[in-house]
Amino acid sequence: MKKKLLALLMSLTMTAALIGCGSADQTASAETAETTEATEETTEDTVEDTASGEAEATEEAPAADLSGTISLAGSTSMEKLCEAMSESFMETYPGVTVTVEYTGSGAGLESLASGSVDIGNSSRHLKDEEVAGGAVENVVAIDGIAVIVDPANSVSDIPADKLAAIYKGEITNWSDLGGNDEVIVVIGRESGSGTRDAFEELLEVKDACKYAQELDSTGGVKAKVAATPGAIGYVSLDVVDESIKAVAIDSVEPTEANIIAGDYLLSRPFVMATNGEISAQNDLVKGWFDYISSDAGKDVIKSVGLIIPQ
């Protein structure tokens, strides 16, 4: 009897051991599966992150792809625009160097024709012979100049020929223009100023002006005119505010709309001419013009007081 009981106990013990081993094996298998699944998920996440990072790097890659030198020459009046645009462009494309020589519009277009520069800067429309020689006119901005007087001045419209006579010293009193009997105080920019050059060229009074005072900044001209009874001056359109009064020229107001339409006298195109169409230029020059037409390029144009062409 005792032998039978002992055999039964041993049998039960072995069965329990086998059941325990089976459970352990199943648990281990489950844990292994879970570990494998987690590893696979981690691997997938890593692959996705890597792919995403590579995509982001690819999007930023074009800035690193452009390298070399872009050369420009021409208009001295475009210096402010060119310096600001070059600086912004080279910050975006650190592998590119932009060089600009301020030799005058005609000289810049001659350099373009000879192939010594990539772009010829001109602060006027191209002449027929320049176009016939292969130059293509690319207007990148429009320059507008406002003629201003002190706020108390009753004159609000000046014919172009009389404005020229004022600056040449031929008309010296506002009464000759229907205003008060008051001496005209002629204010202008210093010699070498791009704004002065543009104003005198457009009004055809180059080197013939008789200034009462020449100031070295737009802000200086504006402040002087605002504080001086009878004063007249010229400034970039973008600085006009309530402290001074902008007058019409030949009954055309100095507004952005009138400048874009070509109706206002004291406006001119800023041209970056190429030898052939932009599409035929190298990647660097194409990149330069793409940048100018981008939001960043437009911001640069506005920041220097110029108008974006339509």
Residues 160 and 202 sit within 8 Å (Cβ to Cβ): no
Q: Which tokens is 61 given?
A: 């890659």
Distance CA 75, CA 90 (A): 21
Give this prediction's pTM. Answer: 0.66
CATH number of the domain located at residue range(s) 65-141+277-303 in this protein:
3.40.190.10
Which pLDDT score, from 0 to 100, does residue 123 have?
A: 87
Choose among 210, 208, 211, 212: nearest CA to 200: 208
Which pLDDT score, from 0 to 100, does residue 25 have?
A: 46
Which is more confident, 240 or 36?
240
Residues 172 and 271 sit within 8 Å (Cβ to Cβ): no
CATH topology of domain 143-261: D-Maltodextrin-Binding Protein; domain 2 (3.40.190)
Distance CA 240, CA 67 (A): 40
Tell me the mean pLDDT in the region 112-120. Answer: 98
Which pLDDT score, from 0 to 100, does residue 294 have?
A: 97
Choose among 281, 267, 276, 247: nearest CA to 309: 267
> Can you give the length of the chain in residues?
310
Which is more confident, 40 or 229?
229
| pLDDT cut 90: percent of the chain above it | 65
Is the pLDDT score of 79 beyond 80?
Answer: yes
- The pLDDT tens digits of the residues spanning 167-210 come to 999 999 999 999 999 999 999 999 878 788 889 989 999 999 99
